[in-house]
Amino acid sequence: MRKRIFFKLFLLIIMVVGVSTAALDILVRRSWEASLSAQLQRDLEDKVQMFAGRANRESGSIPFQQLATEVATAAHARATIIDRSGRVLADSEANSTEMENHATRPEFVSALHGQMGGNTRTSHTLGVDFRYVAAPTSFGAVRLAYPLSSIRADVRRVRLKLLEASSTALLVGFVFALIGAESISRRLRRMVTFAQEIAAGNLSARLPETGSDEIATLAIALDKTARQLETNFRNLETSRHQLETLLNSMEDAVIAVSPAREVAWFNGAMKRMSTSTIAVGTPLIRAARDPDFLRVVADVLDTRKTQTVTLYSVVPGRTFGMTSAPLPDGGAVCVLRDSTEIVRVERTRRDFIANVSHELRTPLTSLLGYTETLLDEPLDSKTHKFLEIIRRNAQRMSRLTDDLLTLARVESGEDPLEQAPVSVRELLRDAQISFNEVARMKGLTIEVAQSPDILVFADKDAVHQVFTNLMDNALKYASGTKKIEIGAIERAADVEFFVRDFGPGIPSEHLARLFERFYRVDKARSREAGGTGLGLAIVKHIVLNHGGQAGVTSDLGHGAMFWFRLPLAKVQAEFTEQI
């Protein structure tokens, strides 16, 4: 880590120093070189003017060669004197007699025309680059020339100093990069170690750091995050322990299943109930051998819908009611409640009712028979009235025992359903024909409102019994109206049958309890009509045994509509194929 940081820092320093050196060389050096050339031009102009003035004053008193030499020495430049024809009269660095005519030199051309002139070029005589400046005199012109090699030497010295400074800066940067890399890598190593401890689960790890730079700010933020994470985890762990204690104290067995269909969690009741070894991570099929349990869990995992089912083989000899619901992580949770005792009590109740009803049938039959025999004999009016009351109540008790026996058989499944595809139109037509005569005697008509040409999967006789109870109920309460409607509506996966009367309707507070045993909206009227209060309970259980639903809707004063739903034959066939 330290080497990588060092190389990055040093590379950055090299880039900064390189860019700075280039910028100084390009901008500062050029500006300084231009300033130096301008200053040289001004100095040469001043000196050449002084040269011209002296040449005018001393032109006859001293030789031109001596004058040129003295001026060159004083000005540190090359001095040249020419006459009006361009002939060189004297030169401080060359033999004037051997020099060519200078009348065509640009600076002398300007000077001979009475103006100061200048030019930069390579000397034909010496082969060196010069900066020339000439001024007019009374006899011709004088010129000073300064070699540009001096300026270039100065520029080279400046460049050399710049490179030396850059090298020194790189050396210092190298040292600072080493120190910075060591410091940064040491701090980052502490942060990496801290992060590894947090990842390993050591939430008590801390990262002490002071300062205000970016790394210190990051370290302080990470340390604060670790403290908050430890607090949150501690609270979460406390909540988990509380929840686990709560679930373990439950008598109901609870098991959580992961999306991979493995045991994710279970409470003590589930462990005691399990007949095989159960542990977290165990495949569910090894932890629970009951096929119904596995099927329901699979359905919940696939459909993400809550399901409730009764299990009979999870534990031999015990019955459990299980509710399975989906979890947010894609798994499922199952709660199993031991309902063995409830089932036993319910079975005992049904058996008791069935036995009592069965035992009552014989004496009630005898009572009815003797009562009807006596009524055939000539009797006085008082005796006849009492015997009629006995017969009517005996008949009511007989109907009640018959309905109790029917309900007990339906609830217990004693008479298994013989389900098969049945035509909806056939079921509605049978119900209409069976009650046409009774309805006609009461001044009513039975109309088939809707009759789709489809098949349902049902027991024909059981459905006829459902229609019998609903039609009997409608005929009792539809008096004074003209008709009763029956029909069916096709839905997505089932068919909804209905029986609608146009009587007084049912108050809304009674609708939720209508399918309970012995529940009556108007008890006095029900007794007068000969009802037992068990017809709708029988309807509900027959429909439930078909895998359907039953219900009622009503508007007070506008009649009531009882409905029940049966599965479509094609849907049932598809479901059977999937199984």
Cβ 539 vs Cβ 469: under 8 Å = yes
- pLDDT at 524 (0 to 100): 47
Whether 4 has a pLDDT exceeding 70, the answer reads no
Rg of the Cα atoms in the chain? 59
Same domain, 551 and 451: yes
Read off the pTM.
0.47
CATH number of domain containing 124: 3.30.450.20
Collapsing DSSP states into helix, strand and coil, what is residue 548?
coil
| pLDDT tens string 40-64 | 778 888 888 888 888 888 877 888 8
Length of the chain: 579
Domain extent, residue 125, equals 2-153
Distance CA 117, CA 128 (A): 19
Average pLDDT, the chain: 79
Instruction: Give the model's confidence band at 254: pLDDT under 50 very low, under 70 low, under 90 confident, else very high.
Output: confident
Same domain, 426 and 568: yes
Specify if 491 maps to a domain: yes
Q: Which of 173-182, 345-354, 366-375, 569-578 has the highest mean pLDDT?
A: 366-375
What integer is the mean pLDDT of 66-88? 87
* Residue 225 one-letter amino acid: T
Specify if 356 maps to a domain: yes
Q: What is the DSSP string of 114-155?
A: TS-EEEEEE-TTT--EEEEEEEE-SSEEEEEEEETHHHHHHH
Same domain, 427 and 560: yes
Distance CA 342, CA 344 (A): 5
Here the tokens at position 292 are 């119904």
Closest CA to 446 of 480, 413, 475, 416: 475
CATH number of domain containing 450: 3.30.565.10
Same domain, 547 and 572: yes
Specify if 13 maps to a domain: yes
* Residue 3 one-letter amino acid: K
DSSP symbol at 376: T
Look at the block and give the residue holding tokens 């995992």.
301
Cβ 91 vs Cβ 80: under 8 Å = yes
Same domain, 60 and 149: yes
Distance CA 159, CA 161 (A): 5
Distance CA 160, CA 53 (A): 41
Which residues, 6+ apart, have CB-to-CB distance to 509 below 8 Å?
Answer: none
Instruction: Give the model's confidence band at 187: pLDDT under 50 very low, under 70 low, under 90 confident, else very high.
Output: low
| pLDDT tens string 531-562 | 667 778 888 888 888 888 899 988 887 888 89
- Tell me the CB-side half-sphere exposure of residue 533, using CA atoms within 13 A: 15
- pLDDT at 564 (0 to 100): 93
Specify if 167 maps to a domain: no
Domain boundary among 384, 410, 436: 410
Specify if 209 maps to a domain: no
Domain boundary among 393, 410, 427: 410
| pLDDT tens string 92-139 | 888 888 888 888 888 888 888 888 888 887 766 666 677 889 999 888
Quickly count: other Cβ atoms within 10 Å of residue 266's Cβ: 23
Same domain, 445 and 366: no
Beta strand 445-450 pairing with 455-458: unpaired
Instruction: Give the model's confidence band at 183: pLDDT under 50 very low, under 70 low, under 90 confident, else very high.
Output: low
- pLDDT at 138 (0 to 100): 85
| pLDDT tens string 354-381 | 666 666 667 777 777 778 787 777 778 8
Same domain, 525 and 404: no
Same domain, 20 and 43: yes
- DSSP H or E segment with residue 2: helix 2-23
Same domain, 108 and 140: yes
What integer is the mean pLDDT of 520-528? 56
List C-alpha distances in Å: 478 to 94, 234, 466, 498.
Answer: 147, 68, 18, 15
What is the tally of structural domains in the chain? 4
Same domain, 346 and 392: yes
Specify if 208 maps to a domain: no
Same domain, 439 and 533: yes
What integer is the mean pLDDT of 498-512? 84
Whether 291 has a pLDDT exceeding 60, the answer reads yes
Specify if 147 maps to a domain: yes
What integer is the mean pLDDT of 335-343? 81
β-bridge mates for residue 423, sequence order: 455
Domain boundary among 153, 172, 187: 153
CA 65 centroid distance within chain: 100
State the helix-helix crossing angle for 64-75 and 30-58, rounded to 10 degrees: 150
* Residue 334 one-letter amino acid: C
CATH number of domain containing 399: 1.10.287.130
Cβ 336 vs Cβ 315: under 8 Å = no
β-bridge mates for residue 497, sequence order: 488, 564
| pLDDT tens string 374-385 | 777 777 888 878
Specify if 173 maps to a domain: no
Same domain, 425 and 572: yes
